[in-house]
Every structure is written in C-alpha cells, then in structure tokens.
Amino acid sequence: MERNQQIRLVRRPVGEPTVEDFRLVEEAVPTPGDGEVLLRTQWLSLDPYMRGRMSEARSYVSPAALDSVMVGGTVGKVVASNDPRFAVGDLALGYGGWQQFSVESAASLQKLDPAMARPSYALGILGMPGMTAYCALNDIGAPKAGETLVVSAAAGAVGQVAGQLGKIAGCRVIGVAGGEEKCRYVVEELGFDACIDRKVEALDDAFARHAPDGIDIYFDNTAGAILEAVMKHLRLGARIPLVGLIEQYNAVTAPKGPNLAPLLVARAKIEGFLVSDHAAHTRDFLKTVGGLLQSGKLHYREDIVEGLEAAPAAFIGLLRGANLGKLLVHTA
C-alpha cells in the first residue's frame, strides 16, 4: 500500500540551513474528514519566506514546530473528496506542504482550470510570486513612464515579473542578480535594460553608471548591501517596496543600525519629509494651528538667548539638546 513521504523540520538552522535540518519520513496516507479532500502533490513551490518558518524569531510567518512537515504552496490532484465542490481528478491549488499526500479543507483550496496550460504557474507568475510583483510594484512603487526602476533578485520568481511589468509601464529597468548567466537571462530574455552582477560588480559604481540620474523605484527583494547602495542613488520622491529580505534570512546576528525587517513584518513605512514640498498647505496650516493657538488649545514655549554673539554657543547647545522649546536669538 502506498505511503505518504514527508519532509519534516527536525532542527532549527543557525545561519544557512543544511540537509541535516530536514528528515524524510514515511507515514500512512491520511484520510479526509467531512468537508476535506485528499490530494496527491504534483508541484511544490519553494520560496525564500520558508526560511522564516524554520526559526523561532518573530516574523510575518509563525515558526513551524519541530518534527512538523515543512509548509509550502502546492498544486495537487484530488484522489478522494468528502466535499461536493471537488471530484477525484480535479486539480487544486493549496498549502499541502513538503509531502506526497495532503488532506486539506475544501474551503481552503482553489480549483484550477483543467485547460490551464501549466498548472505550476498557479504557484508562480499567476500565483503568490506574480501577485507580489504586481501589487508591490503598482501599490507602492507606482511606476511612471520614463522612471528608473531597480529590481533585486531580478531572475527570481518575483523579480522577473516585477521588472517586466516595469518595462511595460515605460520604465528603464535595471536588474541586480548573482552571476553572469542570470544577468544575461534578465537582459536578453526578459528585456531589462541592464543587469548588475552583484557577485563581481561594485554596486555603487554600477548604479552610478546605469542610473546616472538616480533611482525612482527600488523593488527590494533582498535588503542588505543592495539596499544600502541604492540609498545613495535615490531620486526625489523615490519609492522602495520592501518585499523580501533574502540577504538576511540566513543571518545569525541582526544587521547594524536600524534593522528593516520589522517594516516588512508590520507592513510599515518610513518616509522622508521636507517642509518646503508642502507649501500648498500653508493656508490650511495657518488657519488650523493659528486657531488652536489663539483658543489656548496649543501650548508653545520659546527658549530665548540675547544678542547675536550668543548664537554659536546656543546653537552648539541645541545639537546637544540643552534648550527647552524653540530656540531663538533676540537681536533687537
């Protein structure tokens, strides 16, 4: 009788995972309950986010228990169904994990069109990675024709779609990938304008050469050194969708300085602000804040020093936090 091959997490990796962190086991093929379906896995998607599952640290995915089956998106064929929505032989997109057979609730499955040319695409360009590329590029990147878009992990599942959609939107698109073969693929087959080989090129110089007027959008699949180099080449009003952290998934220690992983976990944003961009709001500001001040609803304190000659010491103190309230020099 057929058995269910599974790959389980048996040890939490420190740094890069090794094959010893996994174990191949066999158990009985499970039986679907009411409203459930038994599927035989045809395609299993492997994605960088799975590294997060293997660790205990807080992430946007919860950690997997030790000795549990590794999770993952799958396309499977129905071999038994206890739900009227699925019949034997149907193809379905689910979350069966790293195993030959899985039982899933019918409600959590998505039936695939049998006419679909390549069912595996439901795990890629027409699934989570493609949707990631599409939504992050449009919703956060907001590409406009003529802008310069940089995509890291450009030959990957998400990157290849993001870059091509950028080209279709009229952007000049520069990929960053590891190795000559990937770079050639990205330029010759996907039609990116250029691709930087992060294994051999100095990133800062390469961005200066390929994006001499700066970068409008950086579709970031990696964070780390590529993000750091991009930061020196941002154009006014640049947008960086932070989509992945491939460079630090295996990291043992937190990066120095602000670790941007929490931005991804919280889907949060940091945005630079300069008041001179907001002159159109002056009237509204004066009306609102002036009104609140006049009615006594806003308090405000000034810290006044007398005489121009006192300005240098007062300014040095300001940078040390010595003043309380708005620092002014009275010179009249």
Q: Indicate the residue among 33 and 108 with the shorter CB distance to its own copies.
A: 108
Q: What is the DSSP letter of 303?
A: E
Residue 1 or 117: the one with the smaller Cβ distance to its own copies is: 117
Smallest distance, its own copies to C-beta of residue 231, A: 4
In angstroms, rounded to a whole number, what is the distance separating the alpha carbons of residues 42 and 165? 29
Q: Which is nearer to its own copies, 92 or 157 (CB)?
A: 157
Minimum distance from CB of 155 to its own copies (Å)? Answer: 5
CB-based contact 256:228 (threshold 8 Å): no
The dihedral over CA atoms of 316, 317, 319, 325, expressed in degrees to the nearest 10, equals -140
Q: What own/partner pairs with CB < 8 Å and gap ≥ 24 does 130-133 have? A: 130/157, 130/158, 130/161, 132/158, 132/243, 133/158, 133/159, 133/161, 133/162, 133/165, 133/219
Smallest gap from Cβ 237 to its own copies, in A, equals 6
* Nearest distance in Å: CB 84, its own copies: 24
Report in angstroms how near the CB of residue 27 gets to its own copies at its nearest: 13
The least CB distance from residue 33 to its own copies, in Å, is: 23
- CB nearer to its own copies: pick between 50 and 206: 50
Contact by Cβ (8 Å): 158, 166: no
Q: How far apart are CA 40 and CA 69, in angstroms?
A: 15
Nearer to its own copies, 84 or 297 (CB): 297
Of 34 and 113, CB closest to its own copies: 113
Beta carbons within 8 Å of 83's beta carbon, 6+ residues apart: 35, 36, 37, 106
Tokens read off for 253: 């220690």
